[in-house]
Amino acid sequence: MLKRIALAFAAAALLNLSAFAQDFPSRPVRIIVPWPPSGNVDITARTVAPALAEALGQQVIVENRPGAGGTTGTAAVAKSAPDGYTLLLGSSGTVTNAPAVYKNITYDPVKDLTAIGPIQSVPMVLTAAPKTPVNSFAEYVAYARSKPGQVSVASAGNGSSNHLAIELLMRQTGLKLIHIPYKGSGPAITDVLGSQVESMVDQMTASIGHVREGRMKALAVTSRLRSPMLPNVPTLAELGVANFEASTFTGIFGPAGMPQAVVDKLHAALKKALTVESVRERYRSMGVEIMDMSQPDFAAYVRTDYEKWRSVARDANIVVD
């Protein structure tokens, strides 16, 4: 009798989930952006939201909830009801970098979040200042080895994706560079342009204009493949840094425990939204590459990225309070 009752409850639960998934979404869906308005992640969300709303047949509202380096809004989504109505515009900064370096983080990116689908990927680029006496990666390596521990390289801040990419570069090449953390890419780029710092690793979207106008020298990109935005700049892997890849990404996430049918519906809607030409054109103008992965592949990608940066942070003893 008890077994029959348990089976009846299980069957009822499955029917309820099925009905819920069929009706989803029956009210507006919120996408939390854990950064202030007008930044790259916010623009990414507001670009895709109308097309996602059309694919879902329901309003999609973008809500900014900044604070603590993007972790406040991310933690709020991780703790929200797993019904698909509260989503996160997540990025490598908040999903795989911050949990690898922040001392008092309140969420686990693998256990507490559901990776629904990717949106775009942004390669990073290693650049040299105008007065740095190098014009290629080989010359940069020779220059750094001739002055171990003296060649400076800027990032957007301690624990940033740029910083972690620098640490990975040093680990895989044996170079000893001086890391100079700034409070954001803007002031770091200003000092590179003025040759106050000798080199920098940064998102291509922030540096590409200066590179194209000859104010900064692009030595290598950090992506697996060359970027169509800088097709003549080789990858670090091409240049002999085996298996090097350090791109940033954005994607849609939800809290853990979401019904798979809802996850599948959101993934399909996102994929459809990313085929809209106005969305694709806006992203192309930002210098990013649209990602195309199945939901399981994206979840695996996020896990792998997190483990990679956690290993780099541990080896380099990077801890951010």
- Convert the pLDDT of each residue in 139-163 to its tens digit: 999 999 999 999 999 998 888 899 9
Q: Are residues 252 and 204 in the same domain?
A: no
DSSP letter for each residue of 239-279: TT-TT----EEEEEEEETT--HHHHHHHHHHHHHHTT-HHH
Q: Are residues 189 and 82 in the same domain?
A: no
What's the predicted TM-score (pTM) here? 0.85
Contact 164, 192 (CB under 8 A): no
State what percent of residues in the chain have pLDDT above 90. Answer: 79
Per this entry, what is the length of the chain?
A: 321
Quick one: average pLDDT of 13-40? 80
Q: Are residues 64 and 14 in the same domain?
A: yes
The span from the CA of 66 to the CA of 83, in Å, is 23
Q: Are residues 89 and 152 in the same domain?
A: no
Q: Are residues 274 and 209 in the same domain?
A: no
Which of 34-38, 74-78, 104-108, 127-131 shows the lowest per-residue confidence on average (mean pLDDT)? 34-38
The span from the CA of 26 to the CA of 229, in Å, is 41
The number of distinct structural domains making up the chain is: 2
Three-state secondary-structure class, residue 292: coil
Q: Are residues 169 and 135 in the same domain?
A: yes
Amino acid at 157: G
Distance set, CA 182 to CA 42, 75, 197, 200 (Å): 22, 25, 11, 11
Query: Which residue range is the domain that position 165 belongs to?
Result: 124-221
Q: Are residues 174 and 115 in the same domain?
A: no
Question: Does 12 score more than 60 pLDDT?
Answer: no
Q: How far is CA 31 from the centre of its chain?
A: 16
Query: Which of 221, 239, 259 is the last residue before a domain boundary?
Result: 221
Q: Are residues 117 and 252 in the same domain?
A: yes
Flag whether 235 is in a domain. Answer: no
Band of pLDDT at residue 287, cut at 50, 70 and 90: confident
Flag whether 240 is in a domain. Answer: no
- Convert the pLDDT of each residue in 169-201 to its tens digit: 999 999 999 999 988 888 999 999 999 999 999
User: Could you tell me the CATH number of the domain that includes residue 73?
Assistant: 3.40.190.150
The span from the CA of 126 to the CA of 107, in Å, is 31
Tokens of 147: 């002055």
Q: Are residues 75 and 112 in the same domain?
A: yes
Question: Does 16 score more than 80 pLDDT?
Answer: no
User: Could you tell me the CATH number of the domain that includes residue 176?
Assistant: 3.40.190.10
Q: Are residues 88 and 142 in the same domain?
A: no
Contact 173, 205 (CB under 8 A): no
Band of pLDDT at residue 5, cut at 50, 70 and 90: low
Q: Are residues 280 and 309 in the same domain?
A: yes
